[in-house]
Amino acid sequence: MMSLGSKFAEIQAGIDALRALGRNPFDIRFEKILSPTEALLDGRPVLLFGTNNYLGLTFDAACIAESARALHEAGTGTTGSRIANGTYSDHALLERRIAQFYDKRAAMIFTTGYQANLGLISTLAGREDHLLIDADCHASIYDASRLGAAEVIRFRHNDPDDLARRLRRLEGRPGDRIVVTEGIYSMLGDTAPLREIAAVKRELGACLIVDEAHSLGILGERGRGLCEAAGVEADVDFVVGTFSKSLGAIGGFAASDLPGFELLRVVCRPFMFTASLPPAVVASVNASLERIARDPSLGRRVLENARRLYFGLTAAGFQVGPEPNPIVAVKMPDRETAVRFWNRLIEEGLYVNLALPPATPASLSLIRSSVSAAHEEAQIDRAVSIMTAVGHELHVLERRASAAALPAT
């Protein structure tokens, strides 16, 4: 018989090492979710600062009402895929709304954001093509690149010159060049230099895909993401995104002006061979998208909150990511301190994400938090004060202070 224990012995050892220091971070069980910002964990209330619930819409009354209406009208599930079992009117409505929201000719929805990347990228990346992905791209983009037939090249994170060098090395070879970046990167909260990347794309000829998973509803005047904020929407061939973060539900999408986009529906396997989104989810996304299109104040609010957390932690002496965005990552001196830190925060009533190598860039050990428009200022201040107290207790802050005091060599 197959032994999973020996097959995954190293993984098990890794989990055992984490357990020796406290909880299993892969198995956190909330007894109850009280609101977008609070839950019960081990019978005690915790502040939620690790949710990706950027706009706090998971309990929005209009979204819940629309979701309940659809649930009663159309049932709990679609029980099949769009190509085999048909499209419901709300699927079609949501696709039109997304296309409208981005001012693109067409949009396609997927059952998750992961599948949107998997489907779009693997289908575009044909046998003679070349896929160039930012080194810090999400796992779904890496997995898409393995499912596709194209040659895959990683370029240095946020480095347009490196991208240009790699495109030039391909000169004379047949096939399309497909470049993939994200809007806000999910670990450090930094944004892509899209203006420069778009310029490289124009100069050297490539198709550009931007995953706005963490920037939809947050960046740009109309909430369309980094492409809008950077003024490069005309250069972006495909926008990809998810409904699972700012829109508070689940699902993913791709939107494009490219003629023939509709053909993807009958060639894209992660679209074709999985069941479509259930009516209740589609309806709540329709409602949340309508909300952010009508009211950009939530996006402004989450950025204000992000700055409050980011600058609060900076003032306390923590080393954080390069930009004040709704993902705020605190750098820990080492893996073990990160694990202890994360456990202590939970004991003090603060839930954040523990992010360890190899899931992080540059082998960093991070305490990753995500900020919501639903956070009260007092909750953010409390998060800063808990982190600061634990920072002193575990000597993360003293170490930083004394390191800063050392003369430069």
Partner 1 sequence: MTYNGDTIEAEIVKMLTGRIPAGVQVTGETRIVDGLGLDSVAVLDFIMDLEDHFDISIPLDRIAQVQTVTELSGAIGTLVSARG
Ligand X SMILES: Cc1ncc(COP(=O)(O)O)c(C=O)c1O
Of these partners, ligand X, partner 1, none, which one is at the site of residue 362 (CB under 5 to 8 Å by kind)? partner 1
169 binds partner 1 (CB under 8 A): yes
Of these partners, partner 1, ligand X, none, which one is at the site of residue 186 (CB under 5 to 8 Å by kind)? ligand X
Closest to partner 1 by CB, 3 vs 363, is 363
Shortest Å, Cβ 358 to partner 1: 4
Of these partners, ligand X, partner 1, none, which one is at the site of residue 112 (CB under 5 to 8 Å by kind)? ligand X
Question: Which residues lie near ligand X (CB under 6 A)?
Answer: 112-114, 117, 138, 140, 182, 186, 211, 213-214, 242, 244, 252
Q: Site for partner 1 (CB under 8 A): which residue of 17, 135, 234, 403?
A: 135
Closest listed residue to residue 306, CA positions, set 193, 219, 400, 397: 219
Closest to ligand X by CB, 242 vs 379, is 242
Closest to partner 1 by CB, 34 vs 170, is 170
Of these partners, ligand X, partner 1, none, which one is at the site of residue 145 (CB under 5 to 8 Å by kind)? partner 1
Closest to ligand X by CB, 70 vs 121, is 121
358 binds partner 1 (CB under 8 A): yes
Of these partners, ligand X, partner 1, none, which one is at the site of residue 182 (CB under 5 to 8 Å by kind)? ligand X
Shortest Å, Cβ 251 to ligand X: 7
7 binds partner 1 (CB under 8 A): no
Q: Which segment (239-247, 250-258, 277-285, 357-365) binds partner 1 by CB under 8 A? A: 357-365
Of these partners, ligand X, partner 1, none, which one is at the site of residue 242 (CB under 5 to 8 Å by kind)? ligand X
Q: Which residues of the chain form contacts with partner 1 (CB under 8 A)?
A: 135, 145-146, 151-154, 156, 166, 169-170, 357-358, 360-363
